Amino acid sequence: MDLNLARTFVLVFQHQSFTKAADILGVSQPAVSKAIRKLELDVGDALFVKSGRGISPTSRAVSLATDFQRAIDIIDNAVFSKNRLSIYCVEALMHSLGDIEAATFKVPPFDQELLFDQLRAQQIDLVIDTTTTKDSAFEIESIHSEPIAVICRKDHPKIIGDTFTRELYYQLEHIEYKATRDGRSFLEVFAEEPLEHRNVVRQASNQPRCNVSRKI
C-alpha cells in the first residue's frame, strides 16, 4: 500500500475535512478525494460519508485510523533515528560536549579492535578515543595530545625534593590506567623504552590523549 494514502487518510480522519487535509499536504482537494477513493477500493469499504456540510468517518475508518497512525509513527521514528549520530566518546570529554540533539554518546569499550569492527559494521558513526592503530579504512585525526606524567602526593615520604629517579619509579607502588591497546597497557604503548615489572596495586580510568576516528 502507498504510504501517502495512509498519511492522507489519517489527516482526513483527524480533521474530518478533505480541504484541511489538502491544505496541510500542499495538494488540491480533488487530489485528496481521489486518494481516499483509491484507499476505499483497496480496503473494500467506504471510509467517509457526508454529514451535513462535512464528512464523518465510517466504522471501518475508525478501526483503521489507530493502526495507520501507529504504522506512520513507527516509520517516522525509524527515519528520524537514522539521522542521529551514534558516538563513542571518552568520559573526560563527554561532559564538556553537553547535549547534542542529533547525537547519542556512549563510553567506548576498552577493546580497540571492537571499536573498528563497529565502525566497519556502521554500528557506530564516530569514535573520540585514544588510538595507536592505523587502518586505511578509517580517517584518524589527532585532536589533542599531552605528555605522560607521573603523579604523586605532594608530601610523598619516599620522594625527597625534586629528585625522582628511574630506579625509584620502579620501586614504588603504582596506580595504572586500566585500558589496553593490542594487549598492552597504555603506558607500554606510549613508552619510549621497554618497561620493567611494576607493582600495580590499583587500576583507574582516565584518558591521556584523544583522537577522532570515523568511517570514510
Residue 180 banded pLDDT, cuts 50, 70, 90: low
Q: How far apart are CA 186 and CA 90, in angstroms?
A: 15
Given this model, what pLDDT does residue 198 score? 85
Q: Tell me whether strands 199-204 and 184-185 are parallel, antiparallel or unpaired.
A: unpaired
The amino acid present at 48, given as its one-letter code, is F
Same fold, 3-82 and 85-144+211-215: no
- Is 179 a residue whose pLDDT tops 80? no
Given this model, what pLDDT does residue 83 score? 64
- Residue percentage of the chain with pLDDT more than 90: 18
Q: Give the domain ranges of the chain.
A: 3-82, 85-144+211-215
CATH topology of domain 3-82: Arc Repressor Mutant, subunit A (1.10.10)
Given this model, what pLDDT does residue 123 score? 80
Which of 38-42, 182-186, 190-194 bottoms out in mean pLDDT, i.e. has the lowest?
182-186
Q: Which CATH code fits 85-144+211-215? A: 3.40.190.10
User: Is 55 or 93 the better-scoring residue by pLDDT?
Assistant: 55
To 10 degrees, the CA torsion angle through 64, 69, 70, 71?
A: 90
pLDDT, one tens digit per residue, over 84-113 is: 788 888 776 776 776 777 788 887 776 777
Given this model, what pLDDT does residue 48 score? 93
Q: Rounded to the nearest 5°, which phi and psi values hold at 74?
A: -60, -45
Best mean pLDDT range from 21-35, 127-141, 156-170, 198-212: 21-35
pLDDT, one tens digit per residue, over 152-171 is: 887 888 887 777 788 888 88
